[in-house]
Structure 1
């Protein structure tokens, strides 16, 4: 169930190409049923960002109330987010007769999540290290959330 290094790098590259609305981006994903299940390995690649955010919350901008997550609830939410969203998407795909695109969509969505987590992790660590202020980190995170 663990994808090969080639499949991981190809899928992450495909996710990168999706950011630029590349018509050929989907060719980089394994959109078979096996590739669908292996795409959930992306949760492991996104996990370091999640752990840093939960275990070591970044300083917040002045005047903002800090978020203090419950590690158990946050962990449960992380796991459920990787399970519930694909289930809801499956129901919606059936409802709107888009089942032919479902496997490709979830596969790309999963790998894109792993890709997005990497720059966010870097920004989070830089904020903790004092290289970036909380305000600067927020400004740099904005395009990631808007365009990706």
Structure 2
């Protein structure tokens, strides 16, 4: 189990990374247990992710199938990318830093949702071009954030970090597309 102090430290570490401070890595628990507990980051954001999808009309009131499908897709996404990155980091000589990256990646999900959720709520409450533009700006900023996390956690150059983010984006798009087709 994870304690509130570790959750708070980890979210703070993610926040520091979002501010461009590589010292945010020092706030994460990088032991084997800390790696496993870092999956609490995605667990904490799951309700918010489902809320955003619900605001977008992803769920039919008469069926649990879309909801269950989205939860399964979320779990697959939370495991597929780390498995892929584990192999990639070995191939590029960054295997020893994989756990550090995984912990930072998992906890950064909380910061990302904290940025996206208000924008999604605004877009739902006030439809129009301004919330859509704001969503685009926040999404681009979060792609830079993800790139920064990869760059500092894996000690790689910007191109390598960017390619990992693109890979994550492509894999997530593939998983979400399949989930949307299955969920109806």
Q: TM-score with structure 1 length normalisation?
A: 0.81
Residue 115 of structure 1 pairs with residue 114 of structure 2: no
**Equivalence map 1:105-144=2 (5 Å):** 105-128=101-124, 130=125, 132-144=126-138
Match of 1:145 in 2: 139
Equivalent-residue separation in structure 1 for 2:12 and 2:128 (angstroms): 29
* Residue range with higher mean Cα deviation, 21-30 or 82-91: 21-30
Superposition deviation, residue 68 in structure 1: 7.4
> Which residue in 2 is equivalent to 1:81?
77
SS at match of 1:140: helix
1:102 positional shift:
0.5
The answer to whether the aligner puts 1:51 opposite 2:80 as a matched pair is: no
What SS is found at the alignment partner of 1:24? Answer: helix
Give RMSD over aligned pairs. Answer: 2.1
Note the C-alpha offset of 1:124.
2.0
Aligned to 1:4: 3
In the alignment, does 2:96 pair up with 1:97? no
Report if the CA contact (8 A) 2:44-2:110 is conserved. yes
Aligned to 2:23: 24
Q: How far off is 1:92 after superposition?
A: 0.5
Distance 2:109 2:93 in 1: 25
Matched, 1:35 2:45: no
- Give the C-alpha shift of residue 10 in structure 1: 1.1
Give per-residue Cα distances to partners, 1:101-140, cap 9 Å, x unaligned: 1011010000001221123222222333x2x334222222
1:97 is paired with a residue of what secondary structure?
A: coil
- 1:87 deviation in Å? 0.3
Deviation at 1:100, TM superposition (A): 1.3
Q: Which residue of 1 aligns with 2:152?
A: none
TM-score where L is the length of structure 2: 0.66
The structure, 1 or 2, with the larger RCO (C-alpha pairs under 8 Å, 6+ apart) is: 1
The answer as to whether partners of 2:89 and 2:98 remain within 8 angstroms in 1 is yes
How many residues align? The count is 137
